[in-house]
Structure 1
Amino acid sequence: MKIMHIADLHIGRTINQHPLLADQSYMLDQLIKEVDHQQIELVIIAGDIYDRTLPSKEAVQLFESFIHQLNIERKLPVLAVSGNHDGASRLGYGKEWFRTHQFYLSTAIEDCFKPVTLKEIDFYLLPYIEPAEAKIYFNDDTIQTHKESYEKIVEEINAQKNSGRKSVIVSHLFIQGGQESDSERPLSMGAVEFVPQSVFKGFDYVALGHLHHPFAIQSDTIFYSGSLLKYSFSEASQPKGYRLVTIDEGVKSIFMPLKPLRDLQVIEGDYAAMIDNHQSIESEHYYQFILHNMRHIKDPMTRLKAVYPNLLELRYAEDSKADKEIKVEVDERSDIEIIEQFAMNMTDEPLTHNQQQIIARLLKEVQHETY
């Protein structure tokens, strides 16, 4: 079976108030062409279909057109789950009717346990679940984290799983050890959102969404597809596309890059050289400029946009360098050192020995729960 694994479409997304619908439409058209070229038999969408709980009319129409081409015109099964950006209850409206057309949409815990079986492969669809939802569903007050939520759900799936068939899980979550970028909305604060890879032991393929880098995790069975487009300048160097998954005697997942309508690029240089375009930069791409010798220029953004109409962000190089130095300084410290510095900044007093012991114990408990 040949499968297209995509996620994090974020239809309706903007960057610095600049709408990306035309760019998203272009990429979705590329995916349709790939479906035909690769003779895809099934499409998986692992969450964050929309960028907002209440998507715009134009965003909904774009997704409907994409699904119509896949599911109605080509009669392909589509498996999808809601992500943390999606409004699950609104997205799930009509899902029982959709199933009659082989568009299987999971937006609630109760959707997780009955697999969709296609070509003797069981697909389990796990939407993004808040710990509070799992606590209520299972009537279990001990559930406090995403790890505990997904452990409970997968435990029930394993109890009824058919060991004679291959099994695939589709979900939207932060796998422990994954690489983040700036455009992923945090699931929660601290380490409670992490889900260990061990939770999904025993599944032949785990198709994930949430992290936008297609190589955010290194695993033989767990894969992110990455986002449809570069949605922040921290993603400027990331490839974008889809995963081509082949399931027969074994399982193989290959990342297939696609070229966007406009690229997203970060360029550092001198203001005078940029305003004269000495580097012969293509003006149609989206840019973040980090420029030197710009403090004396009045309204530099307006002047630069006359040359580069798709300039979306402008930074002073001196400020950017200071930000990087602060980040490196923080990254090189241990957790306890960062907490001690924070306490000193807030109270002007160092932590007591007893406070240090309590924090060290709590950090150890968090690390133990995370893995």
Structure 2
Amino acid sequence: MKIMHIADLHIGRTLNQHPLLEDQIFMLDQLIAEIDKESIELVIIAGDIYDRALPSKEAVQVFESFIHKVNIERGLPVLAVSGNHDGAARLGYGKEWFRQHQFHLGTHIADSFQPVTYQNIDFYLIPYVEPAEARLYFEDDDIRSHRDSYSRIVEQIKGTMNHERKSIAISHLFIQGGQESDSERTLSIGAVEYVPEKVFHDFDYVALGHLHHPFAIQSERIFYSGSLMKYSFSEVQQPKGYRLVTVDDEVRSVFVPLKLYRDMHVIESSYDQVLNNELALKQDDYYQFRLSEMRHIKDPMSRLKTVFPHVLELRYLEDTAPATAFKAEVDKRDDLEIIEQFIEAVSEGGVNAEQKQILERLLKEVNDETY
């Protein structure tokens, strides 16, 4: 079976108030072309279909058009889960009806346990889950983190897993050790958002969303597809595309890069060099300019936009130097003491007793996982 694994479409997103729907339509059309070219048999969408819980009418229309081309016109099964940007309840409205057309949506914990089977593969749709939601569902007050939540879900799945077939998990989460980007919404404070790789050890392939870099983690069975396109200037060096997953006796995953409608760049130079385009930059791309020698210029952004209409950020080059690093004596201090020293240095007060207990628990969890 040939599978397209995509995630983090973020349809309806804006970047510095600039709408990206035109770019997203271009990327989705490329995916349709790849489906035909590669004879894709099934499509996985691993969360963050929309950029917000209440997407605009235009964003919904773009996604509906894409799904119609894939699921109705080509008759391909689509297996999707909700991400942390999606409104799970709203996204899941009508999923019982969609299932009759091979469009399967996982938006609630209960959807995780009954696999969707195609050929000789069981697909488990595990949506993004908040610890509070898992705590309520399992009636277990000991569930405090994303690790606890997904560990509990996977343990229940393992109890009924058919080892005669391949098993693929689809989810939206932060695997411990993954590489972050600025455009990903933080799931929670501290280490409680991280899920250890070993939780998914029993699956043959794990198709994930949330981290926008397609090589956010190096693993033999766990893969991120990356985001549909570049959604922040921290992603300028990241390739964008999809994962082509082939399942036969083995499971193989290859990243396939796609062309962007408008690429994204961070440029450091002088104001005059950029305004006169002495660097021969492509004028229609997205830019963050970090420029020197422009403090005397009145309204420099407006002038730059006459040459580069899609410049999105402008910074003074001398203001982009890294801030002075925090220095701490670490040779004789344990992790908790270093954290307490840092908090005292950057805030008005120190750590109270309750906060110290939380820090001690989190440090113990991290140490237990890294042993």
Give the TM-score of the pair, scaled to structure 1. Answer: 0.94
Task: Report the CA distance shift for 1:338/1:63 in structure 2 as closer, same or farther (over 3 A).
Answer: same
* C-alpha separation in 1, matches of 2:368 and 2:90: 33
Q: Which residue is 1:342 aligned to?
A: 343
1:265-284 matched pairs, under 5 angstroms: 265-284=265-284
Q: Secondary structure at the match of 2:190?
A: coil
Deviations 1:116-164 (A, max 9, x none): 0000100000000001111111111111111000000000000000011
Task: Report the CA distance shift for 1:345/1:19 in structure 2 as closer, same or farther (over 3 A).
Answer: closer
Q: Which residue is 2:130 aligned to?
A: 130
Q: Which residue is 1:89 aligned to?
A: 89
- The alpha carbon displacement at 1:346 in A equals 3.0
**Contact map agreement 2:122 2:166 (CA 8 A) in 1:** yes
Aligned residues: 366
The alignment yields a C-alpha RMSD, in angstroms, of 2.3
Q: Which residue is 2:27 aligned to?
A: 27
* C-alpha separation in 1, matches of 2:326 and 2:345: 16
- The alpha carbon displacement at 1:362 in A equals 4.6
1:1-371 matched pairs, under 5 angstroms: 1-321=1-321, 324-326=322-324, 336-337=337-338, 339-347=340-348, 361-362=360-361, 364-368=363-367, 370-371=369-370
- The alpha carbon displacement at 1:330 in A equals 7.4
**Contact map agreement 1:230 1:236 (CA 8 A) in 2:** yes
**Contact map agreement 2:191 2:362 (CA 8 A) in 1:** no
* C-alpha separation in 1, matches of 2:101 and 2:346: 59
* C-alpha separation in 2, matches of 1:369 and 1:47: 29
**Contact map agreement 1:11 1:24 (CA 8 A) in 2:** yes
Aligned identity (percent) is 63
Deviations 1:200-251 (A, max 9, x none): 0111000000000000000000000000000000000000000000000001
Deviations 1:316-347 (A, max 9, x none): 111111xx244x65799877535413303434
Give the TM-score of the pair, scaled to structure 2. Answer: 0.94
Deviations 1:235-285 (A, max 9, x none): 000000000000000010000000011001111100111111111211110
The one-letter amino acid paired with 2:6 is I
Moved over 4 A (4+): 328-336, 357-363
* C-alpha separation in 1, matches of 2:158 and 2:349: 52
* C-alpha separation in 1, matches of 2:362 and 2:133: 26
Task: Report the CA distance shift for 1:363/1:199 in structure 2 as closer, same or farther (over 3 A).
Answer: closer
The one-letter amino acid paired with 1:220 is E
- Any gaps of 5 or more consecutive residues in structure 1? none
